Amino acid sequence: MISDLFEELESEVEKCISCGFCESVCPTLPAAGYDLWKGARGRVIMGKELLSAAKGNGTLNVSDSFYSCLDCHACLYVCPAGVNAGKVSHISKSIIAGDGIPGNQNPLARMIAMVTMHYMNPLGIGEKCAGWFTGMKADPDSTDLLYTGNMYQLMAYTDGMNRMRERMGKGMSKMMSSLIARFPGLIRLAPMKKDEATALKMDSTLSNIALLLRKSGISFNYLAEDEPYPGTFIYDLGYLDLFEQYARKVAKILRDSGARRIITVDPHTYDLLKNTYPKYVEGFDLEVVHYLDLIDGSSFSSGSESITYHEPCHFSLRQDAYNRPLETLRSVASVSLPPRSGRRTKCCGGPDELIFPELTHRVSQNRYDELRDTGAGKIVTACPICFSNLNKGPEVVEIGDYLASRLKN
C-alpha cells in the first residue's frame, strides 16, 4: 500500500515545472504569511523532498505542510502542467498516516480518525445529533433516506474544541490527542461545550431542508440516533485503510435501512458518497443526490433581491461541477458572484478548522471580505462548514433557510 502511494506521489510531483501559477490561487499561502511550505507549490516541492527522505536521503518533518492544505483543488485549474497540489497533499497525508515517514503523524488527526472508527462520529456524540428532528415523523417505508451525516450538527462543537485546545497549550493538547487515539472512550470525558446559538441555527436549517422536501412531495426515512457520520475526516486525513473499513460499515447501514436513494444535505457528504464510496465499497449501487435535486422550483416566489453566493469547493472544484444551488438561487433572486467564482472559487478555510484554526480564521476573513465587497444584501452559503466559517455578520444565510423564506404561502 505505502509503496503504491509513493509511486502515485512520484508520478504527480514529477510533472511540476515550478512555475508558481498555483500560488496565485492558493488560499492558505497569504493566510500563512506567504510561508512557502503552506502554499500549493511548496507542497509539491515538499512532496519531492518526502520522496527523497523515504529513499534514505535524510529525515524530514513535512506534516504541517500537507495537513494545512484545504484540499480545495483551486491550484489544479491554473496549472499548465496539470499538477494537483491537493492530490499531492492527500497522497502525502496517506503516506504519513501509514507511518511511511516516521515521526510525522499528527496526533489530533489520528485522534479524530480513531474516535470516528469507535463511535461512528468524530466527537462521539452521534446520539445527540438527531435532536433537530424532534416532533417530526419519518416514513420507514420510503426508499428515500434523508442523510445529514451529522455534518450540520457537529459545527456547534468546533469553537468549543478549539478553545479547549488553546487553554491546554500545544504540548498538553498533543499528549491528550495521542492518549485519546489509543483509548477513544476518553473523548467522552473531554469538557467540550457546544455553542447553543450555533446548534439552534443548524437545527433550524435542517428543519427547513426537511420542509423544502415535503413541500416538493418527497417522503423520506431518517435514521435519527442511528445515523452514522460518513467518514469524511478519516478519508481527508489520509487514513485510507481505516476509511475502507469504515465506508463498508456505513454502506451496510444505509442498505439495511431499505434505502435505494440517499438524499444528502452538504457538499462533503455528497462528494464522498457519490465519487469516493464507489472506489472503496464494492458494488456500492445506492443512488446519491443532493436535496436541491428534488426541490420543486415552482414553489418559490421570485424577486429581485440582490444576493451573492459562495460556491463550496466540493461543488465547484471537483471533476463534475455541481451547479444546482446557483441555478436555484438565480431563479428566485438577483445573484452577483465575487471575482473568485466558478472554477476559481476561493475556499472558506473550513477543512483546517480543527488542526489549524488560526489559518482557517484568516482564510475565512479574506473570503468574507470578498463576498461582502460585491455589495449584495445577503451572502448565501450551501455548506455547514462554509456557513460556520463565513458567519461574520447577519447578512450570511444558509441556502436552505433562504429558500424556505421564499416559499409561496
Q: Tens of pLDDT along the chain (409 residues)?
A: 688 888 888 888 889 888 888 989 998 988 988 888 788 988 888 888 778 777 766 556 677 888 888 888 989 889 999 988 888 889 888 988 887 777 778 888 899 999 999 999 999 999 999 999 999 999 999 999 999 999 999 999 887 777 777 777 777 778 888 888 898 888 887 767 788 999 999 999 999 999 999 999 999 999 999 999 999 999 999 999 999 999 999 999 999 999 999 999 999 999 999 999 999 999 999 999 999 999 998 989 988 899 999 999 999 998 789 999 999 999 999 999 999 999 999 999 986 777 888 888 999 999 999 999 999 999 999 999 999 999 999 999 999 999 999 998 7
Whether residue 344 contacts residue 368, with contact meaning beta carbons closer than 8 Å, is answered with no
**pTM across the whole model:** 0.92
Q: What is the predicted pLDDT for the residue at 57?
A: 61
The pLDDT assigned to 277 comes to: 98
Please give the pLDDT value at position 97: 87
* Region(s) of the chain under CATH 1.10.1060: 2-104
**CATH annotation of 2-104:** 1.10.1060
Taking phi first (over 0 means left), then psi (-120 to 50 degrees means alpha), and beta for anything else, what does residue 142 get? beta
pLDDT of residue 398: 98
Confidence (pLDDT) at 34: 87
Q: Which fold has domain 299-405?
A: Rossmann fold (3.40.50)
At 51, list the grid cell: 520522496
CATH 3.40.50 domain locations along the chain? 122-157+193-294, 299-405
Question: What nine digits make up the cell of 170?
Answer: 500545544
> Are the C-beta atoms of residues 84 and 130 closer than 8 Å to each other?
no
How far apart, in whole angstroms, are the C-alpha atoms of residue 297 and residue 319? Answer: 26
Contact 242, 234 (CB under 8 A): yes
d(CA 3, CA 47): 15
Task: Give the pairing type, strands 144-147 and 378-381.
Answer: unpaired
Nearest CA-CA partner of 44 in 19, 25, 61? 19
CA distances from 93 to 5, 37, 90, 275 (A): 10, 15, 5, 20
Cα dihedral across residues 355, 290, 387, 153: positive or negative:
negative
CATH number of 122-157+193-294: 3.40.50
